[in-house]
Amino acid sequence: MPDRLSTLLANVEDDLRAAWRTEGSPVPFDEWKTERRARERADEEARVQAEIRAERRSRLLERLDAQIPPRYRSARVTDPRIASWCDTAHEGRGESLLILGPVGVGKSYEAFGAMRHLVGRHIRNAVVVVAADLYAALRPRAGVDTEAEFERYAHAQLLLVDDIGAAKSSEWTEEINYRLVNFRYNHELPTVFTSNTPPRELGTVVGQRVASRLTEMCTVVVLDGQDRRRAA
């Protein structure tokens, strides 16, 4: 129906002309109209891009949350030192984070919070694991390619190893710690570690080779305060 279409277009044109007059723009109408269209298109594009980013972030976060124990699925960074580590974690390369402190002060909470903060912003592929579960997953056994499993952790764009040094250590767990930390260190891959080992005892607990690399590659944040589990 060409009549109705041309009436509609004429109305749009009238509205635009009215807007142009109201604005009192010194630019001729046709030019003003072109600029306005370009601006509208740019706004629309920015809106779509933002939507795509938000969708991607929520998809990545869902994938991360599937790996996170329910208790920590709403974890958020509350410590300002860890928040500022998050802000710079993607700049430069390989700056890792070591959260130390006694039991129950919120190390895991902050660590999971940091992972959740970074995923979808600067990080696509994040892997989280409790050290004891890592050793269990890597125990050589029939029918399992544990080397492939090791690589999944070693190559992750961002990795969280929760509670390193907490499990009873053996030569074999020390070797796993060394291989993993050394790989992350050599490839400058950001890693978040938590441990309730006192800073001075780190070398004794995880071995000197691992402790020395951790100290060099990590921003160390010591949390103190009360055991939140007892307080609750």
Output the smallest distance, CB 35 to ligand ADP, in A. Answer: 49
Q: Do β-strands 96-100 and 126-130 pair in parallel, antiparallel, or remain unpaired? A: unpaired
Segment near ligand ADP (CB under 6 A); pick from 43-51, 100-108, 143-151, 165-173: 100-108
Residue 12 or residue 103: which is nearer to Mg ion going by CB?
103
List of residues contacting Mg ion (CB under 5 A): 108
Question: Residue 60 in contact with residue 120, Cβ under 8 Å?
Answer: yes
The Cα-based distances of 9 to 2, 127, 134, 144, 232 in angstroms read 10, 55, 66, 68, 67
Q: Does the footprint of ligand ADP cover residue 104 (CB under 6 A)?
A: yes
Name the residue number minimizing CB distance to ligand ADP.
106
- Rounded CA-CA distance 158/115 in Å is 8
Residues 105-134 that bind ligand ADP (CB under 6 A): 105-109
Could you tell me the strand order of the sheet in which 218-222 lies?
A: 126-130, 158-162, 191-195, 96-100, 218-222
Segment near ligand ADP (CB under 6 A); pick from 18-26, 83-91, 97-105, 147-155: 97-105
Q: Does the footprint of ligand ADP cover residue 229 (CB under 6 A)?
A: yes
Q: Does the footprint of ligand ADP cover residue 198 (CB under 6 A)?
A: no
Binding-site string for ligand ADP from residue 24 to residue 63, where x marks contact by CB under 6 A and - marks none: ----------------------------------------
Question: Residue 229 in contact with residue 104, Cβ under 8 Å?
Answer: yes
Amino acid identity at 98: L
Within 13 Å and on the Cβ side, how many CA atoms surround 148? 4
Output the smallest distance, CB 177 to Mg ion, in A. Answer: 17
Residue 109 or residue 153: which is nearer to ligand ADP going by CB?
109
- Rounded CA-CA distance 48/163 in Å is 41
Chain residues binding ligand ADP by CB under 6 A are 71, 78, 101, 103-109, 228-229
